Chains A and B, each alone.
Chain A
Amino acid sequence: MYKTVIGLEVHCELKTLSKNFSGSKNTYSTKPNENVTPVDLGLPGILPAPNKEAARSALKTAIALNCNTPDEVIFDRKNYFYPDLPKGYQITQVTKPMGKNGYLLVDVNGMPKKVEIHQLHLEEDTASLEHFNTYSLIDYNRSGIPLMEIVTEPCMNSADEAVSFLEALRNVFLYCGVSEADSKKGQMRCDVNISLMKDSDTELGTKVEMKNINAFSSVRASIEYEIKRQAKILDDGGKVIQETRRYDEEDGNTYTMREKVDAIDYKYFIEPNIPPVKLTFDFIEEIKKEIPVLQYERHLKYVNTYGLSEYDATILVREKNIADYFEEVISYEVDSKSAASWVTTVVLASLNKLNLTLKEFFITPKMLAGVIKLVDNNKLSLRQGQKILYQAIQDRKDPMAIIEESKIEQIEDKDTLIKIVNEALDESPDVVKQYKEGAYYAANFFVGSVMKKTKGQANPKLTLEIIKEEMEKR
């Protein structure tokens, strides 16, 4: 048996208005070369103008990942030739990355795992190449889009851990609002470094790098494949070659791309066109305030403090806006378990059915809290509550207004109910008789008739009690 050691390098495009070093629009685009300025083309004479928002987003993520932040923003050049790199160098960060030595707590199948972050740095994306039979086409739309790279320590030991980390990391991006992190649009891309070692070994085995894997499912499949492949080589007494491999989504195998000859010398040096900008205490504090409580921490709180089930807690924290919605509902002094159950059922089902986002959803947390309270205080039955809510969603109307207009309110006045119950008993003496003879289920028959008489507004629990009491009197 071998121990698997995995390190990840994750690239994430930041969601700013403009690109990292130019004012070109930063957007996912399908029309080639429409968001391009001279800077993105690397034309002679251009200079970089670093985007404050990109720096802020990278710092925000770095802080959320518990990293140390630098005292100033500074960039470096990474020099290499490639047709998707118009300047012949990429502006990145080596000297002072935005984050160093952080970690992220990850839930791996219910077990906590601390994934160590080596560093987080800000750089620019390359142009994109589209390949055809005999030629390739260059589209510069992507050139210069702010890109954040997160490098973990080689500290994960299974595909499960790697994928759980990626999911948690994606969640951090979404929670912090720094990226849409849509891997289908290439906004989140991953390089996997993987090696195998014997338990008795003290040094890491030879590592293989797999580049540009987008889908998390592919990350899992490629790791699982590589573990088998490398284990077989080792079992047969062979040596794993240090190389870069490509994962083929079609057949789920990995293939040699290039063997590592000598490492490319990127001839890094400080970007002389970007003088350092000091990061003030106030600036960093301001960013810290914007960082929300993250998924892992919320999940803990929901289970331990609010007493929610694992299941409900997991569903609620999956998306930050759902968790935020839930937290706002309970801020109106609603029982947290009830709130969880309403949000995970009615709210999510409606969103799903109507294909809406929470932003577009008509029912505010306050409205929902109002309905939940009425149900919890037995002013409405659960069914009534749900019905009203669905109607409110459909009519885009305040549920309280619906309740008022249709006078839907439970009849809880005991005297009123006694009167109605007796009417019902009088109307069906046969059933009364059966009840008296021991057919207690007959009580339900009278609950039904009382409901009919009250158009469903009688409090069912109270009605049943009164039926029993009145029966005793007969």
Chain B
Amino acid sequence: MVTKEKLKSYASKLMFDMDDAEYEILLSEFDVILRQIELINKIDNISDVKPMTFPFLDYERELREDKIEESLEIDEVLLNAKFKVNDQVKVPKVVE
């Protein structure tokens, strides 16, 4: 069962929250999507099929040769960071 509480916990694991009304919309969306997904699960012999991640694999692929490339300049690294100290990105103290 998908409940509003569950949806809220998924949201918080993804590091955000929504308005209460949005959860209601989402719940009704889940109704639709779960129904459609049920169609998927009913497809014949689905469990015999290997899940697909890549559109096709019949082409040459290789791993990267171990070569060094130029790094960004430090001001580029920090260009978009709003808070920086000593050439590093500053955040409130991270406590484990």
Chain A interface (Cβ < 8 Å from any Cβ of B): 16-18, 22-25, 31-38, 41, 49-55, 73, 81, 83, 129-140, 246, 257-258, 265, 270, 272, 275-277
Specify which chain B residues have a CB less than 8 angstroms from the CB of A137 in the assembled complex. 85-86, 88-91
Q: Which residue of B lies closest to A140 (CB)?
A: B77
Q: Is the CB of B91 within 8 A of A18?
A: no
Given contacts A83-B94, A133-B93, contact A16 B88 (CB under 8 A): no
Given contacts A270-B53, A275-B54, contact A17 B68 (CB under 8 A): yes
Min Cβ gap B82→A in Å is 13
Q: Is the CB of A24 within 8 A of B66?
A: no
Min Cβ gap B78→A in Å is 7
When chains A and B are docked, how far (Å) is the Cα of A222 from the Cα of B57? 49
Specify which chain A residues have a CB less than 8 angstroms from the CB of B90 in the assembled complex. 135-138
Q: List 10 A-B contacts (CB under 8 A).
A: A18-B64, A32-B88, A50-B63, A130-B88, A136-B90, A139-B88, A246-B96, A270-B53, A272-B54, A275-B54
Q: Is the CB of A25 within 8 A of B88?
A: no
Q: How many residues of B contact A (CB 8 A)?
A: 30
Q: Which residue of B lies closest to A16 (CB)?
A: B66
When chains A and B are docked, how far (Å) is the Cα of A205 from the Cα of B77? 47
Further pairs besides A83-B94, A129-B94, A140-B77: 8, Cβ < 8 Å = A17-B66, A52-B62, A54-B66, A135-B90, A135-B93, A137-B89, A138-B91, A276-B54
Min Cβ gap A261→B in Å is 12
Q: Which residue of B lies closest to A52 (CB)?
A: B63
When chains A and B are docked, how far (Å) is the Cα of A52 from the Cα of B63? 5
Q: Is the CB of A131 within 8 A of B63?
A: no
Q: Which residue of A lies closest to B57 (CB)?
A: A275
When chains A and B are docked, how far (Å) is the Cα of A139 from the Cα of B84? 11
A32: contacting residue among B15, B61, B62, B86, CB under 8 A = B86
Q: Is the CB of B71 within 8 A of A52?
A: no
Verify if B74 is at the interface (C-beta below 8 Å from A). Answer: yes
Verify if B69 is at the interface (C-beta below 8 Å from A). Answer: yes
When chains A and B are docked, how far (Å) is the Cα of A135 from the Cα of B63? 39
Q: Which residue of B lies closest to A132 (CB)?
A: B93
Given contacts A18-B67, A54-B66, contact A131 B61 (CB under 8 A): no
Specify which chain A residues have a CB less than 8 angstroms from the CB of B69 in the assembled complex. 18, 22-24, 37
Specify which chain A residues have a CB less than 8 angstroms from the CB of B21 in the assembled complex. none
Q: Is the CB of B15 within 8 A of A81?
A: yes
Closest 9 CB pairs of A and B: A23-B69, A53-B66, A52-B63, A137-B88, A138-B89, A136-B94, A49-B64, A32-B87, A33-B77
Q: Which residue of B lies closest to A129 (CB)?
A: B94
Min Cβ gap A329→B in Å is 33
When chains A and B are docked, how far (Å) is the Cα of A403 from the Cα of B90? 66
Q: Which residue of A lies closest to B51 (CB)?
A: A270
When chains A and B are docked, how far (Å) is the Cα of A66 from the Cα of B94? 40
* Chain B contacts with A in 23-79, Cβ cutoff 8 A: 53-54, 57, 61-69, 71-72, 74, 77-78
Specify which chain A residues have a CB less than 8 angstroms from the CB of B88 in the assembled complex. 32-33, 130, 137-139
When chains A and B are docked, how far (Å) is the Cα of A142 from the Cα of B68? 15
Q: Is the CB of B68 within 8 A of A18?
A: yes
When chains A and B are docked, how far (Å) is the Cα of A36 from the Cα of B81? 14
A275: contacting residue among B61, B64, B93, CB under 8 A = B61
When chains A and B are docked, how far (Å) is the Cα of A464 from the Cα of B76? 81
Q: Is the CB of B61 within 8 A of A277?
A: yes
Q: Which residue of A lies closest to B87 (CB)?
A: A32
When chains A and B are docked, how far (Å) is the Cα of A37 from the Cα of B63? 18
Min Cβ gap B86→A in Å is 7
Specify which chain A residues have a CB less than 8 angstroms from the CB of B77 in the assembled complex. 33, 36, 41, 140
Min Cβ gap A146→B in Å is 10
B57: contacting residue among A81, A246, A276, CB under 8 A = A276
Specify which chain A residues have a CB less than 8 angstroms from the CB of B92 in the assembled complex. 134-136
Specify which chain A residues have a CB less than 8 angstroms from the CB of B66 in the assembled complex. 16-18, 51-54
Q: Is the CB of A36 within 8 A of B94?
A: no
Q: Which residue of B lies closest to A53 (CB)?
A: B66
When chains A and B are docked, how far (Å) is the Cα of A272 from the Cα of B52? 10
Min Cβ gap A24→B in Å is 6
Min Cβ gap A256→B in Å is 11
Most chain A CB within 10 A, of B67, B77, B78, B96, is at B77
When chains A and B are docked, how far (Å) is the Cα of A139 from the Cα of B62? 30
Q: Is the CB of A25 within 8 A of B93?
A: no
Q: Which residue of B lies closest to A41 (CB)?
A: B77
When chains A and B are docked, how far (Å) is the Cα of A49 from the Cα of B62? 10
When chains A and B are docked, how far (Å) is the Cα of A135 from the Cα of B62? 42
When chains A and B are docked, how far (Å) is the Cα of A130 from the Cα of B71? 22
Q: Is the CB of A277 within 8 A of B78?
A: no
Q: Is the CB of B68 within 8 A of A131?
A: no
Q: Which residue of A lies closest to B75 (CB)?
A: A33
Specify which chain B residues have a CB less than 8 angstroms from the CB of A134 in the assembled complex. 92-93
Q: Is the CB of A51 within 8 A of B15?
A: no
Min Cβ gap B11→A in Å is 13
When chains A and B are docked, how far (Å) is the Cα of A24 from the Cα of B67? 9
Min Cβ gap B69→A in Å is 3
Q: Is the CB of B64 within 8 A of A51?
A: yes
When chains A and B are docked, how far (Å) is the Cα of A246 from the Cα of B95? 13
Q: Is the CB of A33 within 8 A of B62?
A: no
When chains A and B are docked, how far (Å) is the Cα of A277 from the Cα of B54? 12
Specify which chain B residues have a CB less than 8 angstroms from the CB of A132 in the assembled complex. 93
